[in-house]
Amino acid sequence: MTPPLNQDIRVALVEDQSGLRESLEKTLSSAQGIVLVGAFSDAEQALREIPEKKPQVVIMDINLPGMSGVDCVRHLVERIPDVMIVMLTVFDNSDAIFQSLKNGACGYLHKPIRGRDIIAAIRDVAAGGSPMSARIARMVVQTFSKSPPKVPSPTQSLTEREQAVLSLILEGYLYKQIADQLDLSVYTVNFHIRNIYGKLQVHSRAEAVAKLRDR
């Protein structure tokens, strides 16, 4: 929802610290080419009122009382798909940063932040950019430079008994043999196997073997 050239950028602010919120209100209200359509102290109020005000850009604090800024981003993007959200944070929390970006945020700024920097960030994101403080950018680079995360094993959701049954399935044991090995009834083995196939999202022994071999 990039505004046309020479058209003001409509901005909403979500910040719970009254002193900072008032300071940013003054900065944004006096900035050329920017129209502040509302300033809110919590996510709940923001979700009620922001969609009606139709901002192009939202400045969102990550650490809000009640619902967090991270969750607010997700709900706001659901209601205004084209909105561009820039997060504010004092925390070096990579999980929160990446979750915010995953939820739909377009940029991330580290507090304390100067008025001219937030104005520059608003203009940047409205023009299609992804503003990010140098400190946050370093964190992102460092995270991606680490070893890639391990893909969770499909068997992690299995119970200990289901894993025991699966091991025997993969070794080629028949249902009766599995029952004898684990001192279970054939009915119980069949019950466990149905659960295993459901959790692995397969329909047969062959599909289970193929899926686990790929992993």
Residue by residue, DSSP assigns 51-106 as: HHH--SEEEEESS-SSS-HHHHHHHHHHHSTT-EEEEEES---HHHHHHHHHHT--
**Is the same domain home to 191 and 105?**
no
Residues 25-57 pLDDT 10s: 999 999 999 999 999 999 999 999 999 999 999
CA–CA gap between residue 127 and residue 100 (Å, rounded): 20
Asked whether residue 16 falls in the same domain as residue 67, the answer is: yes
> Which of 109, 146, 107, 145 is closest to 127 using CA atoms?
107
Identify the weakest region by mean pLDDT among 66-70, 88-92, 129-133, 148-152: 148-152
Mean pLDDT of 119-127: 90
The answer to whether residue 1 sits within a structural domain is no
Write the CA distances from 65 to 17, 41, 48, 69, 146, integer angstroms.
10, 8, 16, 9, 33
Range of the domain at 205: 154-210
Domain annotation covers residue 2: no
Residues 16 and 119 grouped into a single domain: yes
Please state, in angstroms and rounded to a whole number, the distance separating the CA atoms of residues 14 and 65.
11
Same domain, 182 and 133: no
Q: How many CB atoms lie within 10 A of CB 182?
A: 16
115 with 174, same domain: the answer is: no
From 124, 145, 166, give the residue that closes a domain. 145
Report yes or no on 215 lying in a domain.
Answer: no
Checking if the pLDDT of 131 tops 90, the result is no
Q: What percent of the chain has pLDDT over 70?
A: 84
Measured distance CA(187)–CA(181) in Å, rounded: 14
Q: Average pLDDT, stretch 126-131?
A: 83
pTM of the model: 0.63
Phi and psi at residue 85, in whole multiples of 5°?
-115, 130
